[in-house]
């Protein structure tokens, strides 16, 4: 399984978003299977779904759920390493997102990261 630091680097989570304490259980594997049902969308989408749910749990103050989702994310990245984010060429931790109160969105201040745009069919 990936280390916490490897997981943080592969997903853009900040150190404050790394919550530990969850044990690997059948429930953890059931949650992972529910995310894996979305693999047809791509491994990056599944990674982003898990990260988004983890951040939502943190925003809601549900620490146990966040810890479980971090474990699910680590298990997912162990078997789907291709879903890891590439390091930014500017050598800063640009994958860390900050919350913009004005827009209500997470964003990065790195010029190397482009905003997500929905592809045209």
Under DSSP, the state recorded for 84 is S
H or E segment to which residue 81 belongs: none
pLDDT on residue 82: 73
Q: What is the per-residue pLDDT across 48-66, written as a single tens digit (0 to 9) for each?
A: 899 889 989 888 988 889 8
Instruction: Kindly state the tokens that stand for 53.
Output: 């749910």
- φ, ψ at 18 (rounded to 5°): -90, 105
pLDDT on residue 79: 84
pLDDT on residue 7: 74
- Per-chain mean pLDDT for the chain: 75
Is residue 98 a contact partner of residue 107, using CB atoms and an 8 Å limit? Answer: yes
Adjacent-strand bridge partners of 100:
105
């Amino acid at each position: 399984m990936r280390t916490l630091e490897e997981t943080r680097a592969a997903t853009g989570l900040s150190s404050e978003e790394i919550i530990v304490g969850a044990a690997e259980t059948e429930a953890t594997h059931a949650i992972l299977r529910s995310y894996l049902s979305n693999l047809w969308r791509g491994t990056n989408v599944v990674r982003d779904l898990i990260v988004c749910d983890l951040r939502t749990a943190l925003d809601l103050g549900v620490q146990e759920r966040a810890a479980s989702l971090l474990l699910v994310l680590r298990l997912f990245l162990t078997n789907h390493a291709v879903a890891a984010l590439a390091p930014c060429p500017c050598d800063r931790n640009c994958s860390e997102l900050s919350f913009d109160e004005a827009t209500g969105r997470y964003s990065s201040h790195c010029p190397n990261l482009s905003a997500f745009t929905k592809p045209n069919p």
